[in-house]
A and B are shown apart, each in its own frame.
Chain A
């Protein structure tokens, strides 16, 4: 049947085209098919990257097209690396990445472990837990802003109910100490289910017979957890950490919606600084250099991490 169809297609191919195709090797044909995708990737990924690298050595400003573009050499890079505000933004980013990953991994793994017990109604609870992840960040940011509102927000009233502090004093987004934690709480609320899903896949991939063998050897539950569950789920946990790490390093939407980087610059992560430099101050060359530095940092760290992940998987 297939042969007949192929024959029909071959017969239907116009002779000049058929002749041309016959002259192309399999490899040539493969290139022919993938070339549109490659061209598209070159146009929207590779070219902008090289263009940004070029711009990072200039004083180019996108809002001044008539101005002469000067080559500044490494001046933009020197200025960024010597700029105290940039270092503060990087520290803020590192703070977010560390705490969000820590909390999401611990809570996500715990939830996965509990869900894996397959108790009655676990499918229902899995769906409920996954809901925050399915919401749009814009929606999440906006409704948490209302929840945090000190005069009408439920969060402030809940804290007040538990602690006795007046709700108007629970200023999550205005207080310098609390604002970073307000964002960490929201990000953890939203993305812990994602970590949970990956961990759950890891836990479910552990063969049952290993636990049965451990039971025969009279290993305690604690021992089974440390010697079987955790080591075998570790590559999955590390994968979740990698994904969340990369995502949170470029965290923008949640910070922008909740605090806009404030109060002051307390929650100004690197991506907010980058956006301000690029699209509010229009320092295109300078912000390109900053983007390249961020790219190299994420790329370098991710590579080191992937190597570590491979080592764990080989064990």
Chain B
């Protein structure tokens, strides 16, 4: 009896002790906040190594893109403690830095010998710096991303289509290098019957609610000559945002939408674009590079059937692409900043970054992307590299949200609803943006 009692007491103590240990471990768990998308799943896989190495558990809070900004900006604005680490959108950096949401990482980088020179310069400017082009770092470049294009290589290579295309346009059916070529290809495929199915020219961004149409239109506008401001006089936008070249660019985007998109594609963004391409509806598809690993693996349209190309050139030969992607930051309201910094240090490691790329994340570390084997490591690697070399980003000002809302409205009103002219839309945009900067006291 006595021995049974002893055994019971022993078991109870062991159970209590293990609960205490597990609670202590849970207390150290870090929560990482990000968007719910394929790379997030890769990060979950990658982070298991961090837990193995440090004993620090990782929890994840992933929110769909449509609610991502709303959800996490609310969290930061309310000084919430949900996220210890956050992979925030590149445009948030100004507001997050000025409002004290992110921990400044300069001292930490110096201490841990993490050099921003080791990362792709465009990603450092885009994801880490505020003010831009100054050595003030608020994030470690985490996920490189850029808008590019996929196309149906199997359709492009059909001899009968090649022949017909050459006869009609006088050049070989191949991935376009200029926007004019892109439109010709899109027109060629629009409403064409392929394998008994009606297909369409291209899927482009037209979404109204968050940032879709701005990301898409800017992809064209940059290469046509759009500039956010006078390079010599910050915030002077008249004549730059609404320059003649910008007007032509916006006109082109509308023409592309009108002529060559699938029916009903008036509110299309990343998910809808992927759906259109995967279901074999479109010949070309504009989307962020993060979608490429998933498409490459797709049984119906991936493998040998898919090809990738960089955003084409504008009429003057200029070529730019809209930057996507994010940096990883430590939230200043977190009680676990030390552990969170450990994660950043671990994530910056060369081997971890190499594994990140193999799992489906886009590393921004030079040693990974400049490796001679990198371009051939994946069929889309070269297009990604070339695209990252020509990136431009939207305003990253603290007022990025109203600035984005204004462009969403002006672009959608013109491109999708067909209201007014491109000049009206861009003049209106200058007016809206000027008002926003005046309210901010910057003009």
A-side residues, CB < 8 A to B, are 59, 62-66, 85, 148-151, 168-169, 171, 173-174, 176, 259-266, 276, 279-283
Alpha-carbon gap, A106 to B74, bound state (A): 43
Q: How far is the CB of A242 from chain B (nearest CB, A)?
A: 32
Instruction: From the candidates B208, B263, B281, B439, name the one contacting A260 in the complex (CB within 8 A).
Output: B208
Residue of chain A at shortest CB distance from B417: A264
* CB-based contact B405/A280 at 8 Å: yes
Chain B residues 308-361 with CB under 8 Å of chain A are none
Asked if residues A66 and B99 are in contact (CB atoms below 8 Å), the reply is yes
List of B residues within 8 angstroms of A260 by Cβ: 208-209, 267
B 258-289 binary contact with A (CB < 8 Å = 1; else 0): 00001111110000000000000100000000
Assess whether A65 is in contact with B405, with CB atoms less than 8 Å apart.
Answer: no
**Which residues of B from 403 to 432 have beta carbons under 8 Å from A?**
405, 409, 412-414, 416-419
Say whether A171 contacts B263, CB under 8 Å. yes
Residues of B within 8 A of A66 (CB): 99-100
- Inter-chain contact A174/B398, CB cutoff 8 Å: no
CA separation between A59 and B440, bound complex, in Å? 10
Q: Which residues of A contact B264 (CB under 8 A)?
A: 148-151, 168, 171, 173-174
In the assembly, what is the distance between CA of A282 and CA of B74, in Å? 10
The 4 nearest A-B residue pairs measured at CB: A264-B417, A174-B266, A281-B402, A264-B413
Q: A65 contacts B401, CB within 8 Å?
A: no
- In the assembled complex, which residues on chain B have CB atoms less than 8 Å from the CB atom of A266? 417
User: Interface of B with A (CB < 8 Å)?
Assistant: 70, 73-74, 77, 79, 95, 98-100, 198, 208-209, 262-267, 281, 398, 401-402, 405, 409, 412-414, 416-419, 439
Q: Chain B's nearest CB lies how many Å from the CB of A155?
A: 12
Does the CB pair B263–A150 fall under 8 Å?
yes
- Looking at the complex, which one of B70, B99, B100, B414 makes contact with A280 (CB distance below 8 Å)? B70
User: Taking A65-B99, A174-B264 as contacts, is the C-beta distance between A283 and B409 under 8 angstroms?
Assistant: no
Known A263-B266, A264-B414, A265-B413; 17 more pairs at CB < 8 Å: A59-B439, A66-B99, A66-B100, A150-B263, A150-B264, A151-B262, A168-B264, A169-B263, A174-B265, A174-B266, A262-B412, A263-B208, A263-B416, A265-B417, A276-B405, A281-B401, A282-B77
On whether A151 and B398 interact (CB within 8 A), knowing A65-B99, A265-B413, the answer reads: no
Cα–Cα distance between A314 and B266 once the two chains are bound (Å): 52
Pair B409/A265 contact, Cβ less than 8 Å? yes
Identify the closest chain A residue to B268 (Cβ).
A174
> A264 contacts B95, CB within 8 Å?
no
> Closest CB-CB distance, A222 to chain B, in whole Å?
46
Chain A residues within an 8 Å CB radius of B409: 85, 264-265
Specify which chain A residues have a CB less than 8 angstroms from the CB of B74 in the assembled complex. Answer: 279
A150 to chain B, nearest CB (A): 4
In the assembled complex, 22 residue pairs joining A and B whose CB atoms fall closer than 8 Å, in A order, are A59-B439, A63-B73, A63-B77, A63-B99, A64-B99, A66-B99, A151-B263, A171-B264, A174-B263, A174-B266, A176-B417, A259-B267, A260-B209, A261-B208, A262-B208, A262-B417, A264-B412, A276-B405, A280-B401, A281-B401, A281-B405, A282-B77
Cα A266 to Cα B409 with chains together (Å): 11
Residues A282 and B265 in contact, CB atoms below 8 Å apart: no
Which residues of A lie under 8 Å from residue B73 when comparing CB positions?
Answer: 63
Q: Are A263 and B401 in contact (CB under 8 A)?
A: no
Q: Contacts of A176 on B, CB cut-off 8 Å?
A: 417-419
In contact, B209 and A282 (Cβ under 8 angstroms):
no
B419→A264 contact, CB < 8 A:
yes
Q: Given A264-B413, A279-B70, A62–B266 Cβ distance below 8 Å?
A: no
**Complex Cα–Cα for A168 and B418 (A):** 19
- Tell me the complex Cα distance, A228–B414, Å: 53
Question: What is the CA–CA distance of A276 and B402 in the complex, to the nearest angstrom?
Answer: 9
Give the CA-CA distance A148 to B266 in the complex, in Å.
13
How many Å from the CB of A82 to the closest CB on chain B?
12
Alpha-carbon separation in the docked complex, A169 to B281 (Å): 16
Q: Smallest Cβ distance from B418 to chain A, in angstroms?
A: 7
- Complex interface: chain B residues within 8 A of A281 (CB): 401-402, 405
Query: A265 and B263: CB pair below 8 A?
Result: no
Min C-beta distance of B212 to chain A, whole Å: 10
